[in-house]
A and B are shown apart, each in its own frame.
Chain A
Amino acid sequence: MSTIEIDIEKSNESNCTNESEMKKVNTIELVNKNLKKRYRAERRFKAYGLVSICFALLCLVVLFTDIISKGHGAFFQTYIQLELNLDEDVLEVNDIQNMKQLASANYQGVIRQSLRTLFPDAKKRHDKRKLYALVSSGASYQLADQIKAQPALVGTTISVFVLADDDVDTWFKSLDDAKPFIGRMSEKQLVWLESLKKSGSLHKKFNTTFFNNGDSREPELAGIKGAMIGSLFTILVTFLLSFTVGISTAIYLEEYAPKNLFTDFIEVNINNLAAVPSIIFGLLGLAIFIGMFGMQRSIPLLGGVVLSLMTLPTIIISSRAAIKAVPPSIRQAALGMGASKMQVILHHVLPLAMPGMLTGTIIGLAQALGETAPLLMIGMVAFVVDVPGALTDPSTALPVQIFLWADSPERAFVERTSAAIMVLLAFLISMNTVAVFLRKRLERRW
Chain B
Amino acid sequence: MEQSIEKIGPTIGQSLLENPKMSMRNVDVFYGDKQAIYDVNLDIGKNEVLSMIGPSGCGKSTFLRCLNRMNDTIEGCKVTGSFDLEGKNIYHPKMDVVPLRARVGMVFQKPNPFPKTIYDNVAYGPKIHGLVESKTDLDEIVESSLQKAGLWDEVKDRLDQQGTGLSGGQQQRLCIARTIAISPEVILMDEPCSALDPIATSKIENLITELSENYTIAIVTHSMQQAARVSDRTAYFHLGKLVEVNDTQHLFTNPDHELTEAYITGRFG
Contacts and interface: CB of A to CB of B under 8 A. Distances in A.
Tell whether any CB of A sits under 8 Å from a CB of B in the complex: yes
B202 interface: no
Interface string A22-65: 01100110111111011100000000000000000000000000
B24 interface: no
Given A3-B18, A10-B46, A17 B213 contact: yes
Determine chain A's interface SS by DSSP, over half rule.
helix
Contact of B214 (A1, A17, A30, A39): A17
Contact of B183 (A23, A32, A33, A35): A23
Interface string B40-73: 0000011110000000000000000000000000
Given A10-B47, A38-B128, A3 B17 contact: yes
A161 B45 CA distance: 95
Contact of A6 (B17, B102, B103): B17
Contacts of A33: 130
A7 interface: yes
B9 interface: no
A443 interface: no
Nearest to B185: A24
Interface of A: 1, 3, 6-7, 10, 13-14, 16-17, 20, 23-24, 27-28, 30-35, 37-39
A32 B103 CA distance: 11
B39 interface: no
A169 B213 CA distance: 90
A221 B76 CA distance: 61
Contacts of B18: 3, 7
Contacts of B182: 27, 31
B99 A35 contact: yes
Given A6-B45, A38-B98, A31 B214 contact: no
B197 interface: no
Contact of B96 (A3, A10, A13, A35): A35
Given A13-B47, A20-B214, A23-B183, A30 B129 contact: yes
Contacts of B14: 3
B102 A31 contact: yes
Interface string B127-163: 0111100000000000000000000000000000000
A17 B46 CA distance: 12
Interface residues of B, number: 26
A27 B131 contact: yes
B211 to A, nearest CB: 11
B247 A32 contact: no
A10 B99 CA distance: 25
Contacts of A20: 183, 214
Given A6-B48, A14-B47, A23-B183, 17 more contacts: A1-B250, A3-B14, A3-B17, A10-B45, A14-B46, A17-B47, A24-B184, A28-B102, A28-B103, A30-B131, A31-B98, A31-B130, A31-B131, A32-B99, A37-B130, A38-B128, A38-B130
A28 B186 CA distance: 13
B59 to A, nearest CB: 26
Contact of A27 (B47, B98, B183): B183
Contacts of A10: 45-47
B80 interface: no
A34 B130 contact: yes
Contacts of A38: 98, 128, 130
Nearest to B18: A3
A32 B131 CA distance: 10
A418 B67 CA distance: 60
A35 B130 CA distance: 9
B144 to A, nearest CB: 11
